[in-house]
Structure 1
Amino acid sequence: MRTSLLLHKPTSAVRKFSAVPSQLHVLLIAWLLIGAASTVWCFASPLMSAPDEAAHTIKAAAVARGQYGGTSSGVQGELLTVEVPKYIAEVQNFNCYATHPEITANCYQPTDGADRTPVKATTSAGNYNPVYYAIVGLGSRGIAGEPALYAMRIISAWVTSFFLAAFFYAASCMRKSRYMLIASAVSVTPAALFLSGAVNPNGLEIATTGAFYMGLCVMLENAGKSRPSWLTTAIVVISGILLANTRPLSLLWLALAVMAAVIGHSRFALLALLKAKRFQLSVVLVSVSCLFAVWWTLTAHSLDSLFAVTPPLPADEAAILMLDRTVGYMREYVGVLGSLDTAPPAAVVYTWVLGFGWLLMLAFTARPVKLRWPVALTTIAVLAVPPVLQAGSSETVGWIWQGRYALALVILLILVSGRAVRFRPFNPSPWSASLIRWSLVLGVLAHAYLLLQGLRRYTVGLHGDHINWTEMFEPQWQPPMSWQGLAVAYVIVLSIAGLCLYRLLMTPQLAPQTPGNMSKVAK
């Protein structure tokens, strides 16, 4: 009854609650909240516990000291050698519990953080593009030891969080933005936050793919009406440059993001955008970065795997096996922690399956039919690209695929689905308000549940069917600020984020509507 009164009585309190926030405020608040959530993951995950984090940390420290590549014998699978401070070289000893979920994080011996003696170290990321590593490697300059390692994580978290926040900024810039806001929230999976809180370019690749796509959509929607804003232009340019230079596959995600954004808009919008000088500048800058990325990939042989070669597998068998495992990778899209040794609770996976499946079904029934085309394109890419890529390397390096490699593409599909259904009527009735509230509560609980699962794994270990939640109050390992402090902080941040999102969904349209604009976009 109270909700009904709030929605229908034009009281001053309602007008104050319904005040439309500016798009800049949306960006800043989303960045603050997502950055805070990612920072919790920085401390909740033991150092070097994320996938291949030791290799990426060594690479980042080397790049920060002017070593953009490394020394190699040219043998497939052999790691590259770089020179880094001794405390950096010893991070490979941290992950003594990898692939052993029953072993807690107290097994590693702390290193001498004051020892900055240059020593040789090897890294499987030695041939990767240096751009991401140049950014996070700054955390290893000026400080040493564990503070430097956490600083590298925090830099990665806040840079990545900015582009995750750009999802919500771009959604708020569009007409009929509510479904886009929902899609943005669904796309920020626990895996995205977990990876953003680690030294790994995978997190930045995921965030910049979505930010680049969303920024292009804003530009296309406003083409011919006004010049693209400098903030939107900056997001498109910077996300495009970083995306092209994160991982070897990133150029493919960038191309798919461009196609998904262009398809579904009228040719008049595209032609009008091509005439805008700010967009022309964006194209030039992103294109130059793509050329650099291609040059680096070819000269540094970034497509060659430096991981240990597994037994070869015929290409046709690898492709069929990948297709068979397509749905199974949903667990990794949601949040498999550590070195793929800590699966998410089933309830967490089902929560995202429910949200993702709902968006996808709405997208494939969207009107006009033209809005379904980019959904179909991205769906085909999600189904076909991983099998093709794995089959292309299975006979030389064996099975190397992990679900997180395609998470950028999956998040792109979620955002594309949100764009397809955004013209569906959304009535802020008491029933819909209640549905949104309970959905947000479910999302907060799912995020928090996975964090607690990770904390349980590292504080007391996972021992098969033995239920040991109460044993966490006598932990064998404690993260900085204790697992209790991190859990409480995470719930508070998520709850505030849920309240902010609820306000956005219940307020009047964020972006002003112009008569006839919706029909132009939908043609």
Structure 2
Amino acid sequence: MTRHSVRRPMDGLRWLVVSAALFAMCSLWAIATPAMSSPDEPSHAVKAVAVAHGELVGDIGPRPTTWMIPGAMTTVEIPADYATVADLGCYVAIPDQDASCMPALPSDHTSFAEAQTAAGHYPPLYYLLVGWPSTLMPADPGILVMRLVSGAVSTIFVVAGLIALRATRASRVVRWGAVTALTPMSLFLFGTINPNGLEISAAFAAWASIWAVFRARGQAPKHVYAIAAVSFAVLANVRGLSPLWAIVIVAIAALGSGQLGALWRDRRPLLLGSFAFVAAVSLPAILWSLRYGTLLTGEGIWPQYQDRVLAVTDMVLSLSRQYEQMIGNQGWFDSPVPLLTLLVWTISLGMLAAHALQRRGQVSGKLALCVLFVGVVVGPMLIQLPGAADAGLVWQGRYTLPIAIGLPLLAAWLISAPGGGEGTSVAERIARGMIPALGVAHVLAFYGTARRYAVGIDGPYATTDPAWSSNLGFMPAVVIYGVAVAAFLIALSGPRRPGAVEITPDPATGGTAAPAEVATAPQALEPTRS
């Protein structure tokens, strides 16, 4: 018999600190980076304001005739001050230009004007969630409040995912995987007006909760089912490709649970029900895309990519750039994270993968990890290739993050599964060092981006008189961000509170079978030595 200790739920104060610290991190990205500094943020802001004012679609324009226009533009009517957001990007794609060149937003919030957005075809859910402040206040400070609302919604989903991780007997290794999944690029997107941020945070909660459901073979705590239901319902309706990501997450989690045969034999309703639920909640986004399309591209703008070999070659050559974008290249990809941040994340990912693949057993989990890695690399190529001659190679690393964050999470779950022996102990010790290192890398990424907008990428490394800064100031914002990161990581680790419940091995799976009182309580289990 294997002894397991039951860790009581994180008390309310500690959850409050985790939530507040994470929201502070998202808020600092929102405050310390200038308005419209997120990729395509002007289009998303215009779309959010239009949806909030009842204009879900607008007037769709013709297909573009040049690669400089991302897609068919949609014309909407919104308050005049919000209609000028596209004029704020004087610093875009000019790394040595600080943000002091931004003009002031007009004060006319009563009259309406036409504005254009390239996101006119996107499903309206995200925009309904974040656009409502524009009905209550002018663009200054409405844009910042919309960013803060976006950060708050993403914080809710990430914290929900962390709660679900407790039901997977989350050890320090799993927390290591979770921190690795939350890259600087993710936090940056959480704190700006961009549906990609909600897509990533909802996917984080979906990965964590569906894994708990499958590992528990249908006996997970009730709150985990609630997290799974809401996260998949939201994820599937954020962007045009989001239903595909939801299906991929369920499939990989089912395979990686190591119980696919048992799930099919003994829990067939659970397995089929999971896919049926994802299909059902994806229906609104699918119907929306069928009715309005997703992004109407040009026709034949990139004739050279009719040569499939050339297209594939260029996509392969872009892989390193996409990887960097997943870790962090903020702004309009003109603010790359410091090399040390990229190095720390690469080491963290590599060590998680190496320990997972070296672990004894867990064949299904290793197979799922390899399948997911191939999907992260090859999937974007398969999606782009059919329309490469019309749209070009437009894929960005951030588009892959909803499924790519599953790699560190899945690797951590495999390492920490029962029966890992000395390998798990070694990984636990490594996690003690890697989690703080990732925290430092986060702060460096924030500093690099804040500096780029304060003084330009070639400006001084520290100054009390930046050319541009938020009301917090350049260096004070960096210091506050460091405090928020430290508070988040410390609260997330927290003290252990062992109990005395014993769990017997489950002969069907080689794992553990939780007694009824454990399966229905929001408790997390931590393996200990016999």
Q: TM-score, normalised by structure 1?
A: 0.87
Q: 2:504 aligns with which of 496, 512, 515?
A: 515
TM-superposed deviation, 1:485: 2.6
Give the letter for the 1:43 counterpart.
Answer: I
TM-superposed deviation, 1:170: 1.9
Listed as ranges, the matches of 1:99-498 within 5 Å are: 99-175=93-169, 177-223=171-217, 226=219, 228-263=220-255, 264-269=258-263, 275=269, 286-305=278-297, 313-314=305-306, 315-368=308-361, 369-423=363-417, 424-425=420-421, 435-463=430-458, 468-470=460-462, 472-498=463-489
Structure 2: how far apart are the matches of 1:307 and 1:248? 20
1:47 aligns to what? 35
Structure 1: how far apart are the matches of 2:40 and 2:171? 37
Structure 2: how far apart are the matches of 1:214 and 1:159? 17
Greater mean deviation of Cα atoms: 341-350 or 311-320: 311-320
Structure 2: how far apart are the matches of 1:39 and 1:351? 24
Q: Is the 8 A contact 1:174 1:511 kept in 2?
A: no
Residue 119 of structure 1: SS of its match in structure 2? Answer: strand
Q: Is the 8 A contact 2:63 2:299 kept in 1?
A: no
1:59 aligns to what? 47
Q: Is the 8 A contact 1:337 1:343 kept in 2?
A: yes
2:9 aligns to what? 22
Q: Is the 8 A contact 1:175 1:510 kept in 2?
A: no
Distance 1:275 1:81, change over 3 A: same
Structure 2: how far apart are the matches of 1:380 and 1:258? 17
Residue 466 of structure 2: SS of its match in structure 1? Answer: coil
Structure 2: how far apart are the matches of 1:511 and 1:296? 52
Give the letter for the 2:469 counterpart.
Answer: Q
Name stretches of at least 5 consecutive residues in structure 1 with no aligned partner. Answer: 1-17
Q: Is the 8 A contact 1:89 1:119 kept in 2?
A: yes
TM-superposed deviation, 1:208: 1.4
TM-superposed deviation, 1:122: 0.4
Distance 1:321 1:220, change over 3 A: same
Q: Deviations over 1:30-61 (max 9, x none)?
A: 33322221111110110111100010000001
Give the letter for the 2:179 counterpart.
Answer: A
Name stretches of at least 5 consecutive residues in structure 2 with no aligned partner. Answer: 65-70, 513-530
Q: Is the 8 A contact 1:167 1:214 kept in 2?
A: yes
Q: Is the 8 A contact 2:167 2:221 kept in 1?
A: no
TM-superposed deviation, 1:74: 3.9
Give the letter for the 1:322 counterpart.
Answer: M
TM-superposed deviation, 1:486: 1.6
Residue 122 of structure 1: SS of its match in structure 2? Answer: strand
TM-superposed deviation, 1:64: 0.8
Q: TM-score, normalised by structure 2?
A: 0.86
Give the letter for the 1:343 counterpart.
Answer: P
Structure 1: how far apart are the matches of 2:316 and 2:120? 30
Structure 1: how far apart are the matches of 2:9 and 2:437? 27
Distance 1:27 1:312, change over 3 A: farther
TM-superposed deviation, 1:136: 0.6
Give the letter for the 1:494 counterpart.
Answer: V
Q: Is the 8 A contact 1:310 1:399 kept in 2?
A: no
Q: Is the 8 A contact 1:319 1:388 kept in 2?
A: no
Residue 414 of structure 1: SS of its match in structure 2? Answer: helix
TM-superposed deviation, 1:157: 0.6
Distance 1:308 1:212, change over 3 A: farther
Q: Is the 8 A contact 2:356 2:415 kept in 1?
A: yes
Q: 1:499 aligns with which of 490, 494, 505?
A: 490
Structure 2: how far apart are the matches of 1:510 and 1:165? 24
Q: Is the 8 A contact 1:127 1:300 kept in 2?
A: yes
Q: Deviations over 1:358-415 (max 9, x none)?
A: 1111222233222212102101101211111222221112121211111222112221
TM-superposed deviation, 1:235: 1.2
Residue 338 of structure 1: SS of its match in structure 2? Answer: helix
Instruction: Please report the RMSD computed on the Cα atoms of aligned residues, expressed in angstroms.
Output: 2.9
Residue 115 of structure 2: SS of its match in structure 1? Answer: strand
